[in-house]
């Protein structure tokens, strides 16, 4: 089996690459010209001479470069295509709305347009998001919950997910939408709240940082473990028929609860270190984003295997190890 991954250098791209390699796949990834592979999430695979350019291949390609994209798809001829690329920070999407929509909405549409012309199109997994539900009419949300996004990121993902549905019906392509709720790991970018919190707890414990500044700590999310989610994506493309799936834990926790759990791992009292900064408030927060993944369980046999407390411990311990090797300051 051969897979192609857009956004391979991200959190999900790197875990999925590991999973696919472990299942004997040949894995190809698209890398932006500006991506640095040194010390990236793929470094350990990229640096392995038994893997790199043998079973793992990287191709430079920006998603707006449709000629190159088409050429790579024709040359690689993947069986499966996992589409993760695009601006992924919700808060930032208010600041850089046009490029967010360009990369997510138009980026996905361009890919679909290429797929419909291929003689043997690959199966596609599209990483849609819980953010498409915004202020939902239904709690928890399912695949049938109407989309009601409240930020440019969610609106762009809603467009892309709907296009995936349209192309699946109109052109008979094997296309899957995964409505992914927040999923985290030590490879999460440092400007997402869970990693920011875990890194701060570790750094404060090691005497490398004094405080943690956050926006809205009453905000709630359905947080899972990224390794569970990439397994769900893979299962969704192995199934006989394409469809849409919610991938979620079904449990809501607040940012505040996450802070308390992370500081408990290092035995610190969060009250002494937590500060609030109004500039980190988003104004437009989604409400009650919590997913019902029963369809994924029934059809794919997928269930999250790890809970929030093991996730928090894993992330804080990884940051402790990382900061011990490369301190923020002496």
Q: What is the DSSP letter of 134?
A: S
- Among 40, 93, 129, 185, the one annotated catalytic: 129
Q: Any catalytic annotation for residue 129?
A: yes
Contact residue for ligand GDD among 6, 40, 129, 145 (CB under 6 A): 129
Contact residue for ligand GDD among 141, 182, 185, 236 (CB under 6 A): 182
Contact residue for ligand GDD among 1, 47, 118, 280 (CB under 6 A): 280
Whose Cβ is closer to ligand GDD: residue 88's or residue 103's? 88
Query: Residues 207 to 266: which contact ligand GDD by CB under 6 A?
Result: 214-216, 219, 221, 255
Whose Cβ is closer to ligand GDD: residue 73's or residue 132's? 132
**Token code pair at residue 29:** 């990834």
Q: Does 9 bind ligand GDD (CB under 6 A)?
A: no
Q: Return the sign of the alpha-carbon dihedral for residues 76, 82, 84, 86.
A: positive
Q: Does 1 bind ligand GDD (CB under 6 A)?
A: no
CB atoms under 10 Å from CB of 328, counted, come to 12
Question: From residue 48 to residue 87, what is the string marking binding to ligand GDD with x (rule CB under 6 A)?
Answer: ----------------------------------------
Distance (Å, rounded) from C-alpha 267 to C-alpha 201?
Answer: 9
CA nearest to 127, candidates 230, 2, 275, 215: 230
Least separation in angstroms between CB 171 and ligand GDD: 26
Asked whether 124 and 244 are in contact (CB, 8 A), the reply is no
Distance (Å, rounded) from C-alpha 20 to C-alpha 112?
Answer: 23
Which residue carries 């993947």 as its tokens?
Answer: 78
Q: Does 282 bind ligand GDD (CB under 6 A)?
A: yes
- Please identify, among the stretches 37-45, 61-69, 167-175, 179-187, the one whose residues bind ligand GDD according to the rule CB under 6 A: 179-187
Cross-strand pairs, 325: none
Q: Does 288 bind ligand GDD (CB under 6 A)?
A: no
Phi/psi of residue 124, nearest 5 degrees? -115, 130
Phi/psi of residue 127, nearest 5 degrees? -80, 85
CA nearest to 244, candidates 129, 112, 118, 153: 129
Contact residue for ligand GDD among 62, 102, 143, 285 (CB under 6 A): 285
Least separation in angstroms between CB 326 and ligand GDD: 22
Asked whether 85 and 6 are in contact (CB, 8 A), the reply is yes
Q: How many residues does the chain have?
A: 330
Q: Any catalytic annotation for residue 131?
A: yes
CA nearest to 7, candidates 42, 39, 55: 42
Q: Does 90 bind ligand GDD (CB under 6 A)?
A: yes
Catalytic amino acids?
Answer: 129, 131, 153
Point out which residues bind ligand GDD (CB under 6 A): 88, 90-91, 129-131, 180-182, 191-194, 196, 214-216, 219, 221, 255, 280, 282, 285
């Amino acid at each position: 089996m051969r897979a192609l991954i857009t956004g391979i250098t991200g959190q999900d791209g790197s875990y999925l690459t590991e999973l696919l390699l472990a299942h004997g796949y040949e894995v190809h990834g698209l890398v932006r010209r500006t991506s640095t592979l040194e010390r990236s999430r793929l470094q350990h695979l990229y640096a392995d001479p038994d893997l790199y350019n043998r079973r793992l291949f990287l191709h430079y390609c920006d998603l707006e470069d449709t000629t190159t994209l088409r050429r790579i798809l024709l040359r690689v001829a993947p069986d499966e295509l996992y589409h993760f690329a695009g601006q992924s920070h919700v808060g930032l999407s208010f600041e850089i709305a046009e490029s967010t929509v360009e990369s997510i909405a138009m980026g996905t549409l361009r890919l679909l347009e290429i797929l419909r012309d291929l003689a043997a199109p690959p199966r596609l997994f599209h990483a849609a998001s819980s953010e498409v539900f915004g202020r939902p009419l239904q709690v928890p949300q399912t695949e049938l919950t109407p989309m009601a996004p409240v930020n440019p990121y969610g609106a762009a993902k809603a467009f892309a997910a709907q296009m995936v549905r349209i192309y699946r019906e109109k052109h008979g392509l094997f296309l899957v939408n995964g409505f992914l709720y927040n999923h985290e790991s030590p490879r999460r970018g440092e400007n997402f709240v869970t990693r920011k919190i875990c890194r701060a707890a570790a750094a404060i414990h090691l005497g490398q940082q004094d405080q943690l500044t956050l926006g809205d700590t009453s905000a709630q999310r359905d947080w899972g473990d990224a390794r569970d989610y990439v397994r769900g994506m893979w299962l969704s493309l192995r199934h006989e028929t394409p469809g849409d799936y919610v991938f979620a834990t079904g449990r809501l926790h607040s940012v505040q609860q996450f802070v308390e759990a992370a500081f408990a791992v290092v035995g610190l009292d969060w009250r002494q270190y937590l500060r609030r900064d109004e500039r980190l408030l988003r104004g437009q927060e989604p409400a009650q984003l919590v997913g019902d993944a029963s369809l994924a369980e029934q059809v794919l046999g997928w269930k999250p295997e790890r809970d929030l407390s093991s996730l928090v411990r894993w992330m804080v311990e990884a940051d402790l190890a990382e900061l011990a090797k490369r301190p923020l300051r002496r």
